[in-house]
Amino acid sequence: MSDLFPERGGVPAAASDRAWLQGMLDAESALARARGIEGADAIAAVCVAERFDLVSLGMASQESGNPVVPLAKALREVSGVDEAHRGATSQDILDTATMLVVRRALEPLLGDFDAASVAAARLASEHRSTPMPARTLLQQALPTTFGLVAGQWLTALDGAAAALRALELPAQLGGPAGTLVGLGPEVAARFAAELGLAEPVLPWHTDRRPVAAVAGALGAAAGVVAKVARDVTLLSQTEVGEVREAAPGGSSAMPHKRNPVAAITALGAARQAPGLVSTLLASMEQEHQRAAGGWHAEWRPLRELLIACGTAAAWLRACLEGLQVDAERMRANLELGVPAEERGGEALARHVAAAETLVDRALSPRRP
């Protein structure tokens, strides 16, 4: 977490140390309920992150290698229930907390994706017929419309969000050896149900497909943000000038600058995703019933990935919601590189009509 280096939107708070602690407490509470133990209510009553001291938990976690060992101890003390945590292993609690954090962090993240989509849809609709040069390999090619450009942004944003919504986030419960000994599948099923998470076929302590799926979907979502943000930076170039952010950044040294700060910061955040995804995929190689390093290697990259995507989405939303379009400049730019026989009259009309048909397809899922 950082004050200085870009974080924006609701994800950073939803993926904070405190949020992870709350996730662990929610898992402990759900476990007590799923097991039907006497002290379940007493446990539930104290499972509030504010009642525990993050810093001392963090320091104590250095002895056991993860924060659940000291947390379970603290929970027994605070609740007075010795049965707390019984039957579970540290990874049950931390993995379940991770899935809860992912679910909770996806809410603001998807909120920003959706808002960016709404903005893209508005741009697609308003500029359905606004001609501009299509550019391939950074060279002007033939006419398209800005509506279709925005329609492609919309389709990609909606698709990435749908893939995130389709993620199945499973609870984790297996006990020390992953056999569910002393608990059994029924407890595991109730545990998942308590938390609104999916019930896996087996414990997934060292079958990290759930983490890989989250990583893959976030990585693709970041790629979509990067594509749109890249387009905005290119269309904003001094020599192109077809779009402009509502609040371009100035420069202490050059007050005339109109930097597309939102798009640039979105891009800077989104580009952090591929490396983080690779770390999470490489971490799938986990030994036996609990990994010696591979599991531990997931924690920070997954959080950084959530924050990177969330920040990217929040900036892209800001960028698109305020995007100003210069339709005259678009038309004027056609003169610079599109052949004369394609940029006017019937030929232009044909290109525009083709683009309009596709804009309508892009917008159709949003029509009543």
Site for a second copy in 343-362 (CB under 8 A): 350-351, 354-355, 357-358, 361-362
Nearer to a second copy, 201 or 368 (CB): 201
Out of 45, 80, 82, 300, the residue judged to bind a second copy by CB under 8 A? 300
18: left (phi over 0), alpha (psi -120 to 50) or beta: alpha
- What is the nearest approach in angstroms of a second copy to the Cβ of residue 266? 8
Task: Tell me if residue 300 is catalytic.
Answer: no
Q: Which of 103, 290, 329, 331 is flagged as catalytic?
A: 290
d(CA 100, CA 206): 19
Query: For residues 41-70, which are near a second copy according to CB under 8 A?
Result: 54-55, 57-58, 61-65, 67-69
Residue pair 132/332 in contact by the 8 Å Cβ criterion:
no
Per-residue contact flags (x/-) with a second copy for residues 248 to 277, judged by CB under 8 A: -xxxxxx-xxxxxx-xxx-xxxxxxxxxxx
Strand partners, 357: none
Q: Does 327 bind a second copy (CB under 8 A)?
A: no
Distance, first Cα to last Cα, the chain = 42
Cβ-contact 283, 79 below 8 angstroms: no
3-state SS, residue 62: helix
Binding test (CB under 8 A) with a second copy, winner from 43, 100, 148, 323: 148
Q: To the nearest whole angstrom, how small is the minimum distance from the Cβ of residue 126 to a second copy? A: 18
User: Between residue 180 and residue 209, which ones bind a second copy under the rule CB under 8 A?
Assistant: 180-182, 184-185, 201-203, 206-209
Residue from 289, 321, 327, 331 binding a second copy (CB under 8 A):
289
| Residue that is written with structure tokens 């969330």 in the block | 310
- The distance from CA 159 to its chain's CA centroid, rounded to whole angstroms, is 13
Minimum distance from residue 99 beta carbon to a second copy (Å): 16
Question: In Å, what is the CA distance from 52 to each residue of 18, 57, 159, 366?
Answer: 10, 8, 40, 46
Among 294, 321, 327, 344, binds a second copy (CB under 8 A): 294
| Binding piece for a second copy, criterion CB under 8 A, among 40-48, 101-109, 158-166, 189-197 | 158-166
Residue 1 CB, shortest distance to a second copy, in Å, is: 6
Q: What interhelical angle do 209-235 and 90-126 show, nearest 10?
A: 30
Q: Give 110's contacts (C-beta < 8 A, 6+ positions apart).
A: 161, 164, 165
Of the residues 56, 64, 251, 278, only one is catalytic, namely 251
Nearer to a second copy, 122 or 329 (CB): 329
Residue 246 sits in the site that holds a second copy (CB under 8 A): no
* Interface with a second copy, residue 134, by CB under 8 A: yes
* Distance, CA of 274 to chain centre: 13
- How far is residue 30's CA from residue 41's CA, in Å, rounded to a whole number? 10
Q: Which residue lies nearer to a second copy by CB, 46 or 140? A: 140
Q: Does 127 bind a second copy (CB under 8 A)?
A: no
Q: Quote the tokens at residue 87.
A: 């039957």
Q: Which residue has the tokens 């993995």?
A: 95
Give me the 208-237 binding string for a second copy, x by CB under 8 A, dash otherwise: xx--xx-xxx-xx-xxx-xx-xxx-xx-xx
Binding to a second copy in span 90-119, by CB under 8 A: 90
From 82, 287, 328, 366, residue interacting with a second copy (rule: CB under 8 A): 287
In the complex, least distance from residue 179 CB atom to a second copy, rounded to whole angstroms:
4
CB 255 within 8 A of CB 262: no
User: Taken in order 197, 203, 204, 207, is the CA torsion positive or negative?
Assistant: negative
Indicate whether 324 belongs to the interface with a second copy (CB under 8 A). no
Q: How far is the CB of 178 from a second copy (least distance, A)?
A: 6
What is the DSSP-derived secondary structure letter of residue 170? B
176 lines the binding site for a second copy (CB under 8 A): yes
Asked if 290 is an active-site residue, the reply is: yes
DSSP-based three-state secondary structure for 271: coil
CB 206 within 8 Å of CB 176: no
Task: Give the Cα separation of 256 and 270 in Å (integer).
Answer: 28
Active centre residues (catalytic)? 251, 290
